[in-house]
Amino acid sequence: MSSREDETLAHAAVTALTGHLALAPKPGLPDPRDLAARATGEDHCSLRWSAKALAPGLAAMAAAARRTGSATPELRAELGAIGRSTEHSVVLAGGGHRGALWVLGLLVAAAALEPRATGRDLAATAKRIAAHPDRRAPRRPSRGSSVSAQYGAAGARGEARAGFPHVRRALEALATARSAGVPEPYARLDALVTVMSTLQDTELLYTVGPHGLRHVQAGARGVLEAGSTSTEAGRAALAAFDDDLHTRAWSPRGSSGLLAGALFVDSLPVTVSSPVLAA
């Protein structure tokens, strides 16, 4: 059974995920402007609802980490089993968030293991968990692992085993924007575009190949080079980038889960006085 502390961590993770869903415009990704979610076919309201379905699984992951007490192979296997069960629950609630579940699950478990850790230290703890193979995982290769092998991309597993470098990049972008007085929504959009500019997104590699991935990375760099999203030129570049990806029906989904992970890490430390997620 999860404790109040575990439920609080799960609530913080779901809040990070719904917070990223509220941002607009998110190039190629569902946002509040487009309930039909042209690029993905997923309804934005459904994504918000299904995000809440992650809470019990995330709380169970935190409880498993707190009970185990260290980044052991046994903990990695238990997190994998909880994750697969949670994926099933999320599908019943409307689907989506598979990538975010992987990122948030490891970071929530890391936060339960190291309650005082933040930023780079928390990512390092998640890295130690992810270093172990999931001994109970299905033996068939996933789409992401197949694409990673084909193109040499790190993929979700490699990102975790490297200590979530794109979560750390997003955190740096948030800090830089905030220190310059950028309003929070623009700071978060800057962080998202920063991730898009360098991430080897296996979802994009699968759907549009290396040329498409390079096109998306170049579009994201164009926004940053135009002055980032808080400037008039940067917002114009962001709008053009968004229109381009929606027209092409290209969706850089990997970046969204990593931004949610960064927003979760950014919210730490959380306290048990935080309200738990309502049913």
Residue-wise pLDDT tens digits, 138-157: 777 677 777 777 877 888 88
* 98: in domain: yes
Angle made by CA atoms 31, 266, 269, in degrees to the nearest 5: 130
Residue 265's nearest CA partner among 54, 12, 23 is: 12
Q: Residue 40 pLDDT > 50, yes or no?
A: no
Q: What tokens appear for 54 in the block?
A: 């992650």
Asked whether 101 and 254 are in contact (CB, 8 A), the reply is no
Q: How many CA atoms lie within 13 A of 249 on its CB side?
A: 6
CA distance 114 to 166: 21
Q: What tokens appear for 62 in the block?
A: 């935190």
Q: Residue 113 pLDDT > 60, yes or no?
A: yes
* 278: in domain: no
Q: How many domains does the chain have?
A: 1
CA distance 134 to 76: 6
Which one is predicted more confidently, 97 or 5?
A: 5
In angstroms, the first-to-last Cα distance of the chain is 17
Provide the pLDDT for residue 100: 87
Question: Residue 46 — pLDDT band, cuts 50, 70, 90?
Answer: confident
* 274: in domain: no
* 57: in domain: yes
* 111: in domain: yes
* 277: in domain: no
* CATH number where 177 lies: 1.10.4200.10
Single-letter amino acid code for the residue at 174:
L
* 279: in domain: no
Provide the pLDDT for residue 41: 46
Cis peptide before 210 (omega within 30 of 0): no
What is the mean predicted confidence (pLDDT) over 32-36?
64
What is the mean predicted confidence (pLDDT) over 243-252?
93
* 143: in domain: no
Neighbours of 249 (CB within 10 A): 13
Q: Which domain holds residue 44?
A: 4-138+150-267
Least confident of 16-25, 49-58, 188-197: 49-58
